[in-house]
Structure formats: C-alpha cells, structure tokens
Amino acid sequence: AKKTLPAVDEEELAKHCVREDCWIHLFGNVYDVTAYLDFHPGGVDELMRASGRDATALFNQYHPWVNYDNFLKSCYVGKFCGDLSKLK
Ligand code: HEM
C-alpha cells in the first residue's frame, strides 16, 4: 500500500510541486496526483497549475460536477492541516 501521512501542512504540500512529484490540496485533503496527471482530461499543464498548492478554486472554476473522489482514491496522502492563506 502507498504511504499516507496523518496530516500535511502548507509547507510540506509546497515541496511537491513538480511533474515527477505533484501533490495538490482539494477540499481539505491532499492528493499525490503524479500518476493521475497523464489521465487528466484537461491535460497535464492545467492540473500542474495547482501543483503544491490549493486546487479547489480552480477545480470549482472548471468542473465542480466532477466526482474527484472516484478518480483520486489511490492518490490520497492525508488531511490538510495547514493554513490555506499561506499557499502561493
Ligand atoms: C476536465 C478531473 C483538477 C482543468 C476534467 C475532466 C475530469 C477532470 C474528469 C472531464 C470533465 C468533463 O468532461 O465533464 C479532474 C480531477 C482534478 C482536476 C480529478 C483534481 C485532481 C483540475 C484543475 C484544473 C482543471 C486544478 C485547472 C487548473 C480542467 C479543464 C478541463 C478539465 C480545463 C476541460 C478539458 C476539456 O474538456 O477541454 N478534469 N480535474 N482540472 N479539467 Fe480537470
């Protein structure tokens, strides 16, 4: 099984901001979407805009109806415990 963490703060999240190691924050959860990137119907570059950051606002902007939970089950890292306002 993949490693999960008890919690992830904004500092830890921000470390994972490249194509080969890409985490995002979505609705209070942190996901490692590195493997999902190639499957994102909106493309790698679009999803990379949220790498190491909050993806919730962009997600809601483009497709609030998408059932992300289904797609990201295997990508789950942990709960976000940081301060979203500190994310760039
Ligand atoms: C399309 C999933 C994050 C931008 C889609 C679609 C899915 C999807 C399933 C197809 C939707 C449809 O046809 O109704 C996800 C998941 C995300 C995510 C699981 C979270 C990890 C994002 C983010 C952005 C984005 C953060 C923007 C920065 C787009 C765009 C499309 C799209 C622009 C439309 C592509 C097109 O049809 O031309 N995404 N997405 N997505 N997504 Fe995402």
In a domain, 19, yes or no: yes
Summarised one tens digit per residue, pLDDT across range 18-32 is: 999 999 999 999 999
The ipTM, to two decimals, is: 0.86
User: What CATH number has the domain bearing residue 54?
Assistant: 3.10.120.10
69 inside domain: yes
Q: Give the pLDDT confidence score for residue 87 in this predicted structure.
A: 76
Protein residue closest via CA to atom 10 of ligand 1: 41
Average pLDDT over residues 4-18: 95
What is the pLDDT at residue 3?
80
Specify the number of domains making up the chain.
1
Distance CA 11, CA 67 (A): 27
Establish if 61 belongs to a structural domain: yes
Domain extent for 25: 7-82
Q: Which atom of ligand 1 lies closest to the CA of 49?
A: 28
Helix, strand or coil, per DSSP, at residue 30:
strand
Ligand 1 atom 29: residue of nearest CA = 42
31-87: per-residue pLDDT in tens? 999 999 999 999 999 999 999 999 999 999 999 999 999 999 999 999 999 998 887
